[in-house]
Amino acid sequence: MHIDAFDQYQESDSLVHRLDPRVKVVVTALFILSNALLPDGAWAGFLIAFGLIALVAILARLELWRVVKRSFIALPFALAAVTIAFAAPGPPLFSFALGPWEFTVTVPGATRFLSILLRSLLSVQMAILLTMTTPFPDLIHAFRHLRLPHSLVAIIAFMYRYLFVLSDEALRLLRARAARTARLDDRAVGGSVLWRARVTGNMAGQLFVRSFERSDRVYNAMLARGYQGHLYTLSPHEMSGFDWAALGFFALALLALQIFARIG
């Protein structure tokens, strides 16, 4: 099983790693909520929020640039809000022509778009820190103790588990195709674009059928081993004084951030 494809947990003995997973989940949720509540154009507030992320990364002994780089996966989704830069009323910032159309970016529109972009990147960075410092079974344990709906927790657990099943089946199909493909050099072998599309479609169909059949076998194997809808961990996950102190510190820091962003 190629766990590196999805599981980005970085094992360590840092202060952040030793925190109770419930604390980390709550802090992450509060941080994302705090980002959503920051006013548009609160650049100092966004900078302080990034400083909190940098502090967590340092305490967790993680490379900050690696966290930032992984957050770029949110860029395509955040860029979908680029139309706000043209739609928001206000004084023009600059204009440009694209064929017969002329577009004008307004100051309020640019401010709102950049704010949305920063909110997205900062929120994803904190979520990445959560997954890099917390094993997935501990996250499921935290969701259960935080009283998330049982069905939702089960769906998340199975979705994560079957991502690896899907990855394994895809690798088997690719390996089988490579074993049956004769090639004289390193160049790709194949016909026209339509031929490649037909082959890819056939492989996608086979991948769905094989993954569905294997997932059914995996589920039956889990039932045979006593699975009753819960994932268990060896850690008792008892809240300590340090956990409560860390939760209080970050809650106060986020509250101070909101106050500063509105009066600063």
pLDDT by 10s per residue, the chain, length 264: 454 555 677 888 888 988 999 999 999 999 999 999 999 888 999 999 999 999 999 999 998 898 888 888 888 888 888 888 877 788 877 777 777 777 788 888 888 889 999 999 999 999 999 989 988 888 888 888 888 888 888 888 878 777 777 777 778 777 777 777 655 455 555 556 777 777 777 778 877 787 777 778 878 888 888 877 666 666 667 788 999 999 999 999 999 999 998 886
The phi and psi torsions of 103 (rounded to 5 degrees) equal -115, 140
pLDDT of residue 183: 56
pLDDT of residue 187: 54
Mark residue 226 as left, alpha or beta (left: phi above 0; alpha: psi -120 to 50; beta: remaining). left
Count of H-run helices and E-run strands, the chain:
11, 2
pTM, full prediction: 0.77
Handedness of CA 140, 142, 145, 146 (dihedral sign): negative
Separation CA 10–CA 133 (nearest Å): 6
Separation CA 136–CA 71 (nearest Å): 19
Burial (CB count within 10 angstroms: exposed 0-12, middle 13-18, buried 19+), residue 151: exposed
pLDDT of residue 22: 92
Separation CA 89–CA 98 (nearest Å): 20
> What is the helix (H) or strand (E) element at residue 106, kind and residue range?
strand 101-106
- CA atoms in the 13 A half-sphere facing the CB of 260: 14
pLDDT of residue 148: 84
Percent helix / strand / coil, the chain, rounded to 5: 70, 5, 25
* Rg of the Cα atoms in the chain: 24
Per-residue model confidence as pLDDT tens digits over 153-207: 888 887 877 777 777 777 877 777 777 765 545 555 555 677 777 777 777 887 7
Cα first-last separation, the chain: 51
**What are the C-alpha distances in Å from 82 to residues 20, 71, 88, 94?**
39, 18, 11, 15
Handedness of CA 36, 123, 159, 238 (dihedral sign): negative
Separation CA 214–CA 220 (nearest Å): 10
pLDDT of residue 29: 94
What the block records as the tokens of 107 is 């100051």
